[in-house]
Amino acid sequence: MTGPSAPPRRGEALLVLADGAVFEGEACGAVPEGGIATGEVVFNTVLSGYQEVITDPSYAGQVVAFTCPHIGNYGVNPTDDEAPRPHCRGVVVRDLSDRPSNWRSTGTLEAYLVRHGIPAITGVDTRRLTRHLRDHGAVPCAFGTAPRTELEAAARAAAPTDGRDLVSGVTTPAPYTRGTGPYRVVAYDFGIKAAMVRQLGELATLTVVPASTPAEEVLALDPDGVFLSNGPGDPAALPGVTAELRRLLDDGTVPVFGICLGHQLLATALGATTYKLPFGHHGGNHPVRRLATGTVEITSQNHNYAVAAESLSAAEVSHVNLNDGVVEGVRSTAVPAFSVQYHPEAGPGPHDARYLFAEFRTLMERTGGPRVGGA
């Protein structure tokens, strides 16, 4: 078969984990320098929403392996981007579709990966890979068309996410404003997703600021509330951010709402500690119990770190994961602040938890908002 409809020719490639496991496949996407791409490999269980996953800045430093066997079926389009470009280090799939079919599609996933410089490998036994990661945990990897010995050495040398500040590579370099809602909210950008900006922009005039912004500058903007976004990497590697959040909480007058990394950083600022999960939570179907009502929510998740329940002293647990008991939400007992580990903005995923944005609005009303226009 020849012509523009023909599938691309792909060379043989290998995926090698740092623990020695090897998986065969075919190279696709962008060509990495030296024929080798590296990162910490994790698996994601979503059945759709692959473009939102790939463009989630929380995947900085990581290689995303999709458990769904067919990826790229409905192509890509600009509306589904969660960031201006992907920050993940690579993509692993079982079967990458060459002929997407969807009225919204503007191109193929592979062309999208090539355009953004993201290498990938297809034809991998992702079922075996997922079982391996569940048994042995997320580990660094290397993949590409280089010789096996070189890939093995690169995998052993690849850095995990532990102890690394990955936020500085994804945060906005300068403040910007979005939204037309009646409240005034300042959002810390630790790797904020477009879906979060849209949700917050419906209820507030939103000022998004760099992760390094001092608490004093945030309070000087006279916000009705402060939002702490998602982001990549280890929260323990961000002591400067945590110190500023602690100063913000010491003020005690401005409501704070955190999601994902923002949840971990809020809990840390309240005196808690975090730890790394064996293989993290990455998918769109995690059951979470809301303790106040007993309601079970199906949630979208993407995190490798979690808050240690026994370390909480100035906050109470509000949500728990029914799969493994991980803390999924906390609420301060002293100041107007709360957070969740999962993604209520659902980009992609179910909408069960979008009520949390309304709770943020209610909290701002109770503390004197809005300061911009009428509610």
280-315 residue pLDDT tens: 999 999 999 999 999 999 999 999 999 999 999 999
Average pLDDT over residues 171-183: 96
Catalytic residue flag (residue 303): no
pLDDT over 80 (residue 5) = no
Same domain, 147 and 193: no
Same domain, 21 and 144: yes
Q: What pLDDT is stored for residue 89 in this prediction?
A: 97
**Residue 215 · residue 251 · CB < 8 Å:** yes
Separation of alpha carbons 77 and 209, rounded Å: 27
Q: Which of 118, 138, 157 is the C-terminal boundary of a domain?
A: 157
Separation of alpha carbons 7 and 98, rounded Å: 6
Beta bridge mates, 322: none
Same domain, 43 and 79: yes
Q: In what order do the strands lie in the sheet with 337-340?
A: 176-178, 204-210, 183-189, 225-228, 256-259, 337-340, 327-332, 315-321, 274-290, 295-307
Average confidence score pLDDT of the chain: 94
Q: In the chain, which ranges are E strands?
A: 12-17, 22-29, 36-44, 62-66, 70-71, 90-92, 95-96, 119-122, 139-144, 176-178, 183-189, 204-210, 225-228, 256-259, 274-290, 295-307, 315-321, 327-332, 337-340
CATH number assigned to the domain comprising residue 78: 3.50.30.20
**Residue 105 structural domain:** 12-157
Q: Which of 157, 181, 207 is the C-terminal boundary of a domain?
A: 157
Same domain, 89 and 182: no
Q: What pLDDT is stored for residue 368 in this prediction?
A: 80
Beta bridge mates, 184: 205
Residue 2 within any structural domain of the chain? no
Q: Point out the catalytic residue in the list 132, 282, 319, 343.
A: 343
Count the neighbouring beta carbons within 10 Å of the beta carbon of residue 250: 10
Q: What pLDDT is stored for residue 372 in this prediction?
A: 60
**Phi and psi (nearest 5°) for 364?**
-70, -35
Q: Which of 131, 157, 183 is the C-terminal boundary of a domain?
A: 157
pLDDT in tens, 190-202: 999 999 999 999 9
pLDDT over 80 (residue 10) = no
Same domain, 239 and 281: yes
**Residue 182 · residue 372 · CB < 8 Å:** yes
Task: Using pLDDT thresholds of 50, 70 and 90, give the confidence band for residue 20.
Answer: very high
Of the candidate ranges 8-22, 162-176, 282-296, 330-344, the one whose mean pLDDT is the lowest: 8-22
Q: Point out the catalytic residue in the list 260, 281, 297, 303.
A: 260
pLDDT over 70 (residue 85) = yes
pLDDT over 80 (residue 375) = no
Catalytic residue flag (residue 345): yes
Same domain, 193 and 215: yes
Average pLDDT over residues 310-321: 96
pLDDT in tens, 47-74: 999 999 999 999 999 999 999 999 999 9
* pTM for this entry: 0.94
pLDDT over 50 (residue 78) = yes
Domains in the chain, number: 2
Cα atoms in the 13 Å half-sphere on the side-chain side of 298: 8
Same domain, 238 and 146: no
CATH number assigned to the domain comprising residue 181: 3.40.50.880
Same domain, 258 and 142: no
Separation of alpha carbons 99 and 7, rounded Å: 8
Residue 3 within any structural domain of the chain? no
Same domain, 341 and 229: yes
Handedness of CA 5, 144, 24, 101 (dihedral sign): negative
